[in-house]
Amino acid sequence: MKITDVKMEKFSIELTEPFKVAFAEVSHTVSIIVKVETDEGYVGYGEAAPFAPVTGETTEGCLEVLQMFRQGLIGMNPLDIEKAHAMMDGLVHGNGSAKCAIDIALYDLKGKVMNQPLYRVLGGYQSEVQNDITIGISAPEKMAAAAEHYVKDLGYRILKIVPESSEVYGTLSTYCIPISMSLYLMNVDLKSIIKMSKQPLIAIFCAIFSVSIVAFIFGCIFADSIGEGWKVAGMFVGTYTGGSSNLTAIATGLNASASTIAAANAADYVVGMPTLVLMFLAPALMKNSKKFQKFWPYSFTDEELEGDGSQKELMASEEWSIKEIAILLAIAVSVVAVSTKLSSFMSADFASAGRILLISTISIIVAQVPAVRQLRGAMNLGLFFGMMYLVIVGFSVNIKGFLTSAATITLFCLCAW
């Protein structure tokens, strides 16, 4: 038996109502039906459902790839499914939707040749397969009603739900950044800072002062055209003097909205990452520039550029124990709990900022205990909680509003750099 032809047909189905997830909203689906024909009259059907945000494929691209597969499949025994996969993998990398359509069609055809349902062809014994259903983002009441319908009326037992608002988001938002801050600060060694010469301390002070001035100047320009503009200015002062974690910490202290936090973080990464890469490259580039040498004759020596070997490799793997993680979490949670309780005695206008200041101060004091500073994993654990917070922010952001404000905030960020 041989494959004589492979036919494709694109079709579109309108949805009864728009389906919304975090990254897209769709009103219809576009799929491709694949029909594999043989010289003995057996026919197998498959379907490709390319969706660029998920599979990285477009409908047009999928059709082109299927045409490539068609040439390789004609003349092949349809029961040689593994050989068909080897052929497809040899032609293109990825393109899972197109390969899936061929795979389904070949197994459908195989079941017909054997006169058996597919679950028996695959060696199974259950005639039904449990599947999941995704509940689109909508109002909580509407999502609850949809979930009840899928469970009671259609028999689904596995639901995928990512609501844009939930009580648990508020709980996590309240504690993620404070815990993250406390963990970051557990590496601070005040004795080492005090032993520093005057030059680094003066440089740090000048950097904070200059960034504050620049943020103030451009804040005057952009604040009125950005929602919570002055809060954004304060957030950028934080990120340019202490890193991206400071941006979110200051945003938390200022009670910035989720969309503002998301837009500011996006702008920080869009502008900041390429700039940081350029700054890492700058010493080597400037050293070879004759024009720059005339303007600024000092350059790093090879020894200064390479270091003495004691520096940690950026993003290098690290080891720590479960016991260390448990102790770090216990300390961080305790610091946050004490700070939160103390801040409750402050005025309502200052309580949020005061809480952040208390967490910072107490964490630095605790970090001076040698046994605490020797615990491994504080930075990585702090980063984890910080990223968890940003994920929650992303869930609750209105994409249209985010895109509107993000462009202006990115321009503000570029000017502040």
Q: Is the pLDDT score of 417 beyond 60?
A: no
pLDDT class of 77 with cuts at 50, 70, 90? very high
What is the pTM (predicted TM-score) of this model? 0.50
Domain ranges of the chain: 3-129, 131-163, 167-306+316-416
Contact 41, 75 (CB under 8 A): no
Q: How far apart, in whole angstroms, are the C-alpha atoms of residue 134 and residue 229?
A: 37
Distance between start and end Cα atoms, the chain: 67
Q: How far apart, in whole angstroms, are the C-alpha atoms of residue 133 and residue 159?
A: 5
Radius of gyration of the chain (CA): 29
pLDDT computed for residue 104 by the predictor: 96
Report which of residues 155 and 210 the model is more confident about: 155
pLDDT class of 394 with cuts at 50, 70, 90? low
Strand partners of residue 133:
159
Q: Is the dihedral of CA 253, 256, 258, 261 positive or negative?
A: negative
Residue whose pair of structure tokens reads 């494929």 in the numeric block: 57
Phi-psi region of 137 (alpha: psi -120 to 50; beta: other; left: phi over 0): beta
263-302 pLDDT, tens per residue?
Answer: 776 676 666 666 666 766 776 666 667 777 676 665 666 6
Q: How far apart, in whole angstroms, are the C-alpha atoms of residue 392 and residue 167?
A: 11
Contact 218, 398 (CB under 8 A): no
pLDDT computed for residue 26 by the predictor: 80
Contact 33, 102 (CB under 8 A): no
> How many CB atoms within 10 Å of residue 373?
14
Contact 17, 66 (CB under 8 A): no
Q: Is the pLDDT score of 403 beyond 90?
A: no
pLDDT computed for residue 36 by the predictor: 96
Q: In this structure, what token pair is assigned to residue 251? A: 């945003």
Contact 180, 389 (CB under 8 A): yes
Q: What percent of the chain has pLDDT over 90?
A: 24
Contact 43, 109 (CB under 8 A): yes
Q: Is the pLDDT score of 30 beyond 60?
A: yes
pLDDT computed for residue 141 by the predictor: 81
Q: How confident is the model over 43-49, as a mean pLDDT?
A: 95
Q: How confident is the model over 188-216, as a mean pLDDT?
A: 75
According to DSSP, the β-strands at 43-48 and 24-38 are antiparallel
Q: Is the pLDDT score of 162 beyond 70?
A: no
Q: In this structure, what token pair is assigned to residue 224? A: 């009125």
Q: How far apart, in whole angstroms, are the C-alpha atoms of residue 300 and residue 240?
A: 23
CATH code of domain 3-129: 3.30.390.10
Total residue count of the chain as it appears in this document: 417
Q: Which of 58-62, 187-191, 301-305, 317-321 has the highest mean pLDDT?
A: 58-62
Contact 57, 49 (CB under 8 A): no
Q: In this structure, what token pair is assigned to residue 181? A: 């801050």
Of 409, 403, 417, 378, which Cα lies nearest the Cα of 185? 378
Q: Is the pLDDT score of 70 beyond 90?
A: yes
Contact 35, 57 (CB under 8 A): no
Question: Distance between alpha carbon 103 and the CA centroid of its chain, in Å?
Answer: 31
Q: In this structure, what token pair is assigned to residue 125? A: 């014994």
User: SS3 for 177?
Assistant: helix
